[in-house]
């Protein structure tokens, strides 16, 4: 039987591929459990510095699996406590890159927005179409989308269920880069490998600092950034990085 995700490790990059092609990678309960367990195992693995989540060229993910929810009662939904899993994704400390091609809808769009860098192929389409099936986004879509693209564009997508193209998503600030469909995965993988060569502790603290900008006031965020900045002067990688710059050689980071 096909596994809902395929997990592989390449050098310092932990890769997860969503693998339910028959249902456009719908995020079933099983898939989410495996995905989150794998992301956490990558986060705990000191040999992995960066995580890459990919779908296929045709689809990233068309949302939560509607079959899992169609007949559920409010109590069943409550008892499933499935948003606890999404909270665990939020707590991953290493950078997570999303390689998105095709549909990123509903929970699929929300999964991409849980990532830190979104590489979109020219064919990517983003949407929060939950309104069409009688619900609203539940894994942070109304909040993260609004912060990413602003109230009026978010309202258009959430109230009308409108899909936006990769070009619009890029223009609106929802994606980091657009790349040709044919090599979107190779591009994202190379980016992940390049990023994985940076000092791993600084990567984690940089992610933490940027995410803080969504959570707090400017002055508190600046204070927070400063503390993390100072902290890095306790690392060997800072000494090595600066020495290598001065000596005009390539730095060799050890993650300490
Ligand atoms: N769940 C289950 N099955 C799906 C889903 C889905 N989200 N999306 C597509 N499929 C299935 C279809 O039923 C179909 O199966 P079959 O071949 O057996 O009929 C197969 O995938 C192919 O789909 P289509 O034939 O519909 O393909 P089209 O190219 O015609 O259309 C669309 C593609 C536009 C993407 C269309 O499939 C669609 O609208 N899908 C649903 C999109 C959607 O509404 N997503 C939101 C779901 S709700 C949600 O994500 C809430 C998240 C809350 C947080 C997470 C909690 C777990």
Q: What is the pLDDT of residue 2?
A: 84
- Helices and strands, counts by H and E, the chain: 12, 10
Alpha carbon dihedral 204, 125, 33, 81, in 10-degree steps, equals: 100
Q: What is the pLDDT of residue 133?
A: 98
* Of 62, 76, 109, best ligand 1 pocket probe by most atoms within 8 Å of the beta carbon: 62
Helix ranges (H only) for 81-137 are 83-90, 107-114
CA of 75 to the centre of ligand 1 (A): 24
- pLDDT 10s digits, 20-34: 999 999 999 999 999
The yes-or-no answer on residue 64 being catalytic is yes
Q: Strand, coil or helix: what is 70?
A: coil
Q: What is the pTM of this model?
A: 0.97
CA of 8 to the centre of ligand 1 (A): 26
The low-confidence residues of the chain, meaning pLDDT below 50, are none
The pLDDT tens digits for 79-133 are 999 999 999 999 999 999 999 999 999 999 999 999 999 999 999 999 999 999 9
Find out whether the beta carbon of 232 lies less than 6 Å from any atom of ligand 1: no
What domains appear along the chain, each with residue ranges and CATH number? 5-196 (3.90.226.10), 200-247 (1.10.12.10)
Predicted pLDDT of residue 1 = 65
């Amino acid at each position: 039987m096909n596994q809902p995700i395929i997990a592989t490790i390449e050098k310092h990059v932990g890769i997860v591929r969503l693998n339910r092609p028959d249902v456009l990678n719908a995020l079933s309960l099983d898939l989410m459990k495996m995905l989150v367990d794998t992301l956490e195992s990558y986060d705990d693995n000191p040999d992995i510095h960066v995580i890459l989540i990919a779908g296929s060229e045709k689809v990233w993910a068309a949302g939560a699996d509607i079959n899992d929810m169609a007949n559920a009662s409010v109590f069943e939904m409550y008892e499933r406590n499935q948003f606890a899993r999404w909270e665990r994704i939020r707590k991953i400390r290493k950078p997570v890159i999303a390689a998105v091609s095709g549909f990123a809808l509903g929970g699929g769009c929300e999964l991409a927005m849980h990532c830190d860098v979104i590489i979109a192929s020219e064919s990517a389409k983003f949407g929060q179409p939950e309104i069409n099936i009688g619900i609203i986004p539940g894994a942070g879509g109304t909040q993260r989308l609004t912060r990413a693209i602003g109230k009026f564009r978010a309202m258009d997508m959430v109230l009308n269920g409108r899909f936006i193209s990769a070009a619009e998503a890029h223009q609106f600030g929802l994606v980091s880069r657009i790349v040709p469909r044919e090599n979107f995965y190779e591009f994202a993988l190379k980016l992940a490998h390049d990023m994985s060569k940076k000092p791993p502790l600084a990567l984690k603290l940089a992610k933490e600092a940027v995410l803080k900008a969504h959570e707090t006031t400017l002055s508190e965020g600046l204070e927070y950034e400063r503390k993390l900045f100072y902290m890095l002067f306790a690392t060997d990688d800072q000494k090595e990085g600066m020495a290598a710059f001065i000596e005009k050689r390539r730095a060799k980071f050890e993650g300490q």
